[in-house]
Amino acid sequence: MILQRIVLGNYRNYQARDFDLDAAGNLIIGPNGCVKTNLLEAIAYCGIGRSIRGHKDEDLLMHGKNYWQINAGFITDNERSLQVGMAWGDGRKLLRLNGVPAKQLSSLFDQVKTIYCAPQEPLLINGSPRLRRQYFDLAISQLYPQYIPLLRELNHVVSQRNALLKGSWDAKQKESWDLSLIKANQDVLAFRMKYLELINKALAEGPGFVAPLAQKPQLRYLPVIKDSTTLDAESLLYLVQKMEAREKHWQRSLFGAHLDDWDFYLDGRAMKSFASQGQKQMVAIALKLLQARLIKEITGIKPVLLLDDVFAELDSYHSRKIRELVNDGLQVFVASPRADIASEWPTLKPLKGFGAQA
C-alpha cells in the first residue's frame, strides 16, 4: 500500500500541516528535536490506532488545544482509495474509514499495515516482559486481526477473575472462572505458537547478516507455568486449582498468557545476558523487517516502513544490508539528522515542506 497524503491538526507540534508523499517514500532530514519522530508516529498511528511510542492519546495534543486529528489518504495494493481519519478530543477517540465510523480497531488492522523501527529497538530484548508482550501482540494482530478479540476476551476474563479473588467465592463460581481463563488462554496461545513457528522459520532462513560466524537467532516462548502451552484443559485446571491459596494471597491471577514472556537466543545463549548492543540492535531490526515480509506474504498487503534514525549506530556494512532488505517494493520513510544520507537512498527524495514552520 502507498500513503499519498497525511494531514495533521493540533498533533504534537503540528498545528496544521499537509504533506504530499512520494510513492517510493521520502527522506525526512533535519536536526534532532525538529519533530521528525512525531511525523513518523502519526503515520504509524494510522496503522495501529495508538502511539507506537506508548504515549497516551492526551499526550499527543498540542498545548492549548482541545482536540487533535490525523487524516491519511492511502492507495491499496489493489489500487483502491482508502481514507483513514483519526481524531481525539474530550477523552474520546474516533476512527473513520472512508468516512464511515468504525467501532473496532480490528477494522483498521484489516486494511492498514505499518512497521516502525527506532534506535530503541534493543529494548525489545533488554526491556520488560510487558514491553515484549505488547510488541508481539501487535505483530500477531497485524498478521491475524482475529487475534484482537481473543486478546480482549483474555484481558476481560483476567479482570473479572481478579475481582473475584479480591472477595469471597464458592467453589462452583471459582471453577467457572478458572475454565473461562483456561479457554481464553488457549485461544491466545494458539496464535502465539503459530507466530512463534513463523518467525523462527523466517529467522532461520535469513537475513543472515544479523549475526557473525553463522550464528542463528531464535525466539523462545516462556510461559509462566512450564509446559502450559501443550497441556490439555483438564491438566491446566488441576494446576490452576493448586494455585488457589497463592492467588488468594496476591488477589490476582497468577496463570495466563497475560504474564508470559518471550526471549531471544543466539546460538542457544540468551541474548539479554551476553549479546552486544550492536547484535541486539541488528536482531531487533531484522525482526521488524521479517515482520514486514510476513505481512506481505500472509495478508497480501505491502506495509509502509518507517525507519527512525536507525542507522546512527550501525556500521556501513549493516546499513547497506538493511537497505537491500527494504528494497522490496515497499514505501519507505527514513528519518535522519544527516543530510548526506540522501546519497545512501538515491531512490528517495527529501520530503517537501518538512522543516518549515509547523
Considering the domain 1-113+301-358, what is its CATH architecture?
3-Layer(aba) Sandwich (3.40)
Q: What is the pLDDT of residue 211?
A: 47
Specify the residue for cell string 540468551. 270
Cα separation, 348 vs 345, in Å, equals 6
pLDDT along the chain (358 residues), means of 10: 96 93 92 84 93 91 93 93 94 93 85 89 87 95 94 96 89 92 96 96 71 69 88 90 91 94 90 85 86 92 92 76 75 90 88 68
Q: Which stretches within 206-315 are classed as H helix?
A: 233-242, 244-250, 271-274, 277-299
What letter would DSSP give residue 243?
A: T
Determine contact, residues 214/285, Cβ cutoff 8 Å: no
Length reported for the chain: 358
Exposed e or buried b for every residue in 10-19, given b needs 16+ CB within 10 A?
Answer: bbbebeebeb
Report residue 342 as a C-alpha cell: 540522501
- Domain positions in the chain are 1-113+301-358, 122-299
Q: What is the pLDDT of residue 356?
A: 53
pTM confidence score: 0.90
Closest of 6, 7, 11 to residue 67, by C-alpha: 11
Q: Collapse the DSSP code of 102 into the 3-class scheme (helix H, G, I; strand E, B; otherwise coil) and give the result.
A: coil
Cα separation, 314 vs 307, in Å, equals 13
CA distances from 144 to 51, 172, 235, 285 (A): 20, 35, 28, 21
Exposed e or buried b for every residue in 106-136, given b needs 16+ CB within 10 A?
Answer: bbbbbbbbbbbbbbebbebbbeeeeebbebb
Homologous superfamily assigned to 122-299: RecF/RecN/SMC, N-terminal domain (1.20.1050.90)
